[in-house]
Amino acid sequence: REPMKRLKTETFYFHFENLPDPDGWNKTFLCYEVKRRQDQKLLRKGVFQNQVEPYMPLHAELRFLSWFHDTLLCPLGSYQVTLYVSWSPCSECAEELTTFLAGHRNVTMTIYVAQLYYCNWKSPNREGLKILIAEDARLRVMFYDEFLYCWRNFVKNDYNNFDPWSLLDENSRYHNRILQNILK
C-alpha cells in the first residue's frame, strides 16, 4: 500500500522508454509529487506500480488515488499533483481520475506520460483521455526534460547522469502528435 521511494535504473530505462509501438509491457509505473498549491511546498513524492496477484489487481493510478485520499488529502488543503507515468491512463483509470477531480476541486493535476496506452482509433482509451482533459487535468507527453527530471528525482541513479536512449526526442514527438490528434 505504501509507495516506493525510487525506481531501480533498469526499471526506469525499461518501462519509461517511449517506444512508438511497445508490446508485452504489463506494468505501469507512476512517479508522483504532491505540492501545496499556495506556496508550492513539496509535501510528498514517491512511486507506485500496478498491484498484481496474489493481491487484488489494481492499476498504479488507482493505487495513488487511494493512498492520496487516505493519507494526505484534507478538505481545507489545496494541492497540485504532478504524475509522471510510463503509460497513459486506460479508460477506466481516466474515468476514476476524472471522478476524483470533479469531487475534489481543491486538487489540480498534471499528468506526463511516456507512452500512450493502446490509443488506436477505436480504443475507449482515447475517449477516456478526452474526458480527463475536460475535467481540467493537464495531460502532456514526456520529453527529454521530464525524463531527466524523473531520473534525478525518482530513480536510484547512484549520481550517474541520465543516458537518453536513441530516438527519445523523435518518439516523444510521435506520441505528442497522436495525443494532440486525440484531444482535437
29 neighbors 60 (Cβ within 8 angstroms): yes
- Residues 7-27 have a mean pLDDT of 87
Average pLDDT over residues 135-160: 96
Residue-wise DSSP of the chain = -PPBS-EEHHHHHHHH---SS--S----EEEEEEEETTT--EEEEEEEE-B-TTSPPB-HHHHHHHHHHHHT--TT--EEEEEEEEEPPPHHHHHHHHHHHHH-TTEEEEEEEEE--S--TT-HHHHHHHHHHHTT-EEEE--HHHHHHHHHHHEE-TTPPP-PPTTHHHHHHHHHHHHHHHH-
Residue 61 maps to a domain:
yes
Is the pLDDT at 160 greater than 80, yes or no? yes
Whether residue 86 is contained in a domain is answered as yes
Residue 99 in this model has a pLDDT that exceeds 70: yes
For the segment 33-92, what is each residue's pLDDT rounded down to a tens digit?
999 999 999 999 999 998 766 677 789 999 999 999 999 999 999 999 999 999 999 889
- Cα separation, 10 vs 78, in Å, equals 35
Compute the average pLDDT of residues 90-117: 94
Least confident of 71-75, 83-87, 118-122, 179-183: 118-122
- Predicted confidence at residue 161, as pLDDT, reads 97
- Closest Cα partner for 137 from 81, 77, 86, 184? 81
How many domains would you assign to the chain?
1
Read off the pLDDT of each residue in 86-104 and give the average, rounded to a whole number. 94
Domain assignment of residue 105, yes or no: yes
* Cell of residue 76, nine digits: 481545507
Round to the nearest angstrom and report the end-to-end CA distance of the chain: 37
Residue 1 included in any domain = no
Q: Is residue 155 part of a domain?
A: yes
pLDDT at residue 1 tops 80: no
Percent of the chain whose predicted confidence (pLDDT) is above 90: 73
In a domain, 2, yes or no: no
- Residue 122 pLDDT > 80, yes or no? no
At residue 121, does pLDDT exceed 70? Answer: no
pLDDT averaged over every residue in the chain: 92
Model pTM above 0.85: yes
| CATH number assigned to the domain comprising residue 26 | 3.40.140.10
d(CA 70, CA 127): 28
* Separation CA 6–CA 4 (nearest Å): 6
Q: Which domain holds residue 175?
A: 7-183
Confidence of residue 24 (pLDDT cuts 50, 70, 90): low
Q: Is residue 132 part of a domain?
A: yes
Residue 55 lies inside a defined structural domain of this protein: yes
